[in-house]
């Protein structure tokens, strides 16, 4: 069973791209007693090696990213309001009115021109990021500069809730994947395996690009979350995947054509372990596989994703069932790949 208590601790840690330190420290504390070798790369990735009962026939790397989407302060106005840019692919429609934390502990709220001052045309459109600001309560630039500087990270404030068999939180992409990798490291493995907890996925796959170069794997399993549009008003053929229907296997996205044999092997692993599994019914998005599969001479790659509603927003939703079943599937799939099937 995937560790939900650990997931809560990781989701509550703040770690936008380039500021993954708090997340990394939690992961290191969890895996160091179990991994045989742990390395921190210059960019900040964690590469962990876990010795199994047998030497792997295929050198396998399992990958999850530590960073989350967020914002960064770019400018402080004379009146103390903060201008910002997004870090990663955030839907600007969800920004206005959201509570945030600037740096480690400065509370703020994202604001915009009051609705009663908008033109009829402005009311029909999402507010551009350039017209938004963060209000921390400072009345002057000097007051704001005493606690905030350009370049400071900004993260959403959100709950962590597990009612109704689901999990609601920010940063489920990809802290849920990190938990699955941690859980596997803590187990007795049938074969030697490499584990990569990488940085800066949301801003260009920078961590996975360098991790794959250093690790030089023959095969990779990328563990992530993917968009589920199974909501009212979306036609069935546009829903991509369904929360509660099991982990998602992709045949292709905008960055990767996945290894066809491993794609089928993932479904075989699901059947062998008795868990649900579904195909990602869209060629959309991308993940660390985009950098890993073209590293060095090429890496055979498969992605196993958690269906996730409201991805890259202040609060996302995944199913507890999907979370547990993804770990079961990945454990079996890793055994099959490392064993040379």
Report CA 82 to chain centroid distance, whole Å.
26
Q: Clarify whether 201 is annotated catalytic.
A: yes
Which among 201, 327, 331, 335 is annotated as catalytic?
201
CA–CA separation, 237 and 228 (whole Å): 12
Spell out the residues 6+ positions from residue 5 whose beta carbon is closer than 8 angstroms to its own.
none
Cβ atoms within 10 Å of 292's Cβ, excluding its own:
31
- Can you read off the two tokens belonging to residue 25? 């420290």
Which has the closest alpha carbon to 254: 292, 298, 221, 287?
Answer: 287
Sign of the CA dihedral with 83 first, then 87, 89, and 95 last:
negative
- Can you read off the two tokens belonging to residue 136? 């921390």
Is residue 191 a contact partner of residue 338, using CB atoms and an 8 Å limit? yes
Sign of the CA dihedral with 243 first, then 247, 251, and 254 last:
positive
Annotated active-site positions, please?
201
């Amino acid at each position: 069973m995937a560790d939900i208590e650990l997931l809560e601790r990781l989701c509550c840690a703040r770690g936008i791209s380039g500021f993954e330190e708090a997340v990394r420290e939690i992961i290191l504390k969890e895996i160091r007693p179990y991994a045989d070798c742990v390395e921190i790369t210059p960019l900040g990735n964690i590469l962990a090696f876990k010795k199994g009962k047998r030497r792997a026939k295929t050198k396998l790397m399992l990958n999850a990213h530590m960073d989350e989407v967020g914002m960064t302060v770019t400018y402080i106005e004379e009146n103390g309001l903060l201008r910002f840019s997004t870090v990663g692919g955030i839907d600007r429609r969800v920004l206005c009115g959201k509570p945030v934390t600037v740096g480690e502990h400065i509370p703020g709220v994202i604001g915009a021109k009051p609705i009663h001052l908008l033109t009829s045309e402005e009311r029909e459109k999402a507010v551009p990021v350039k017209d938004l600001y963060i209000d921390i309560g400072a009345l002057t630039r000097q007051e704001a500069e005493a606690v905030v500087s350009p370049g400071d990270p900004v993260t959403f404030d959100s709950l962590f809730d597990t009612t109704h068999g689901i999990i609601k939180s920010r940063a489920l992409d990809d802290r849920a994947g990190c938990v699955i990798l941690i859980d596997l490291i803590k187990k007795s493995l049938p074969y030697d395996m490499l584990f990569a907890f990488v940085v800066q996925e949301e801003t260009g796959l920078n961590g996975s690009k360098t991790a794959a170069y250093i690790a030089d794997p023959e095969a990779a399993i990328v563990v992530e979350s993917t968009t589920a549009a199974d909501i009212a008003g979306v036609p069935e053929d546009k829903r991509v995947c369904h929360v509660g229907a099991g982990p998602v296997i992709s045949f292709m996205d905008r960055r990767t054509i996945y290894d066809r044999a491993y794609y089928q092997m993932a479904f075989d692993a699901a059947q062998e372990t008795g868990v649900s599994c579904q195909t990602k019914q869209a060629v959309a998005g991308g993940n660390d596989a985009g950098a890993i599969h073209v590293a060095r001479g090429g890496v055979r790659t498969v992605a196993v994703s958690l269906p996730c509603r409201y991805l890259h927003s202040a609060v996302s939703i995944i199913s507890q069932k999907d979370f547990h079943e993804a770990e079961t599937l990945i454990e079996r799939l890793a055994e099959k790949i490392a064993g040379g099937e």
